[in-house]
Amino acid sequence: MSMPYEIFVGLRYLRAKRRNRTISLNTFVSIAGITLGVAALIGTVGIMTGFKEDIQAKILGTTAHIIVQDRMKDGMSDYEPTTKQIEEVQDVVAATPFVLKQVLLTTPNGVQGIVLRGIDPQREGHVTELAKNLGTGELSDLSKPVKIKQPPADDPTGPAVETEKPGIILGKELAMRLGAFVGDTVNVVSPVGPISAMGMVPKIRTFAVVGLFHSGMYEYDSSLAYIDLAEAQKFFNMGATVSGIEVKVTDVFRANEIAHNIEGSLGFVYGARDWMQMNRNLFSALKLEKTMMFLLLVLITIVASFNIVSTLTMIVTEKQKEIAILKAMGATRKSIRRIFMLNGLIIGFSGTAIGIPLGYAFLWLIQTFWTFDPTVYYISRIPVHVQALDVMLVAGSAILISFAATVYPSLQAAKLEPVAALRYE
């Protein structure tokens, strides 16, 4: 099977004669521009996707995939049968009740407002990654009273007396701020307490630090603490109620669909929110940032396409006699247009073919040799993930822009009249 003459002629036209090397140089510059644009797009999109997935993994390591709460009141009393009913919904892996309140933590070294979560140590590990994130201690330590030697409350100067305190797990950054580590005690202050003649009195209780967790997200490590579910119910005077139920599902990207199934199973009284809804602002911002970076970097490819226009225009000017001869021999306007459009597509395909592996090489170099201090940046290397769909989108955009750049020169070439071109030959 012979090669169509349009391809043969187009390839010959990209190679300039000895007396005019400018066309060859322009062809090289055009390919280089497309190459750099594609490589920059691959690198940027890969890094932004990597950061998004890294943040997503850290969020899902600390929070549940779905949260179920009562729409009608601030609390859930029949949580045990509701938990079992949720676990029977298809694609639900596990569920556990929790308590969520805002409190103050105080130590001799500082005061910090935090979110305090009451959890079931036996079931929490099946729903979140808290057990894996623990650097010190275990979840089961929350349900064991800790023996602490302290002076009597009524006589701070008296001899130390051994007392039992409930356990608390702090985030790594929170522990550093408060100067409280495993074996130390912290005071938990709830703004809602008993009412006296002087008004509402804050409720204070001492907890012993039994563990530290490190999630990789500064916001969590600096503002979260965990205590036993029963201790939380007692401390906040909640009786036999909880704030809601945490749920883990088989597929995090179908969490919204599974949340609707849970609502259908439980009825209108209960509402279920998935992790994307709870972090909508963050993920919307990341998506917008990725889109805008993509559009901005496409401008590099568009700039490179102007070189394609100039290259093809110069070829048309130089090859007027050859084009006239082709038309005199029977070549149609469509064939002439096809020759120059193929020229532009060859430049676009060449630049894209070189740019994609160059982008991958750039990402490999960044991930291999660019390291960070994890104690400062919370990451040791830049996260990178290139998705096939992104590569197809980048390649498609580059080729489409290259093709668009061929329209004007190819139309000009097709309009050329043989008589006018050969008049002075």
Q: Which residue has the higher pLDDT, 151 or 362?
A: 362
| pLDDT tens figures, 163-212 | 888 999 999 999 999 988 888 899 999 877 656 556 556 788 999 999 99
Alpha carbons 346 and 359: distance in angstroms, whole number:
20
Alpha carbons 63 and 103: distance in angstroms, whole number:
19
Residue 158 CA from chain centroid, whole number: 55
For residue 338, what are its two tokens?
Answer: 């096809």
For residue 251, what are its two tokens?
Answer: 């597929």
For residue 322, what are its two tokens?
Answer: 């050859």
pLDDT of residue 203: 83
pLDDT band at 246 (very low <50, low <70, confident <90, very high): very high
Quick check: pTM over 0.85?
no
Q: Which residues of 77-94 are buried (b: 16+ CB within 10 A; e: fewer)?
A: eebeebbebbeebeebeb
| pLDDT tens figures, 4-59 | 655 666 556 565 555 555 656 777 888 888 898 899 889 988 998 888 888 888 88
Determine which of 97-101, 111-115, 294-298 has the lowest per-residue pLDDT on average: 294-298
What amino acid is encoded at 351 in this protein?
G
Taking residues 382-411, what's their average pLDDT?
87
**Ramachandran class of 378: left when φ > 0, alpha when ψ lies in -120 to 50, beta otherwise:** left
Q: What is the mean pLDDT of the chain?
A: 83
Q: Which percentage of the chain shows pLDDT scores above 90?
A: 30
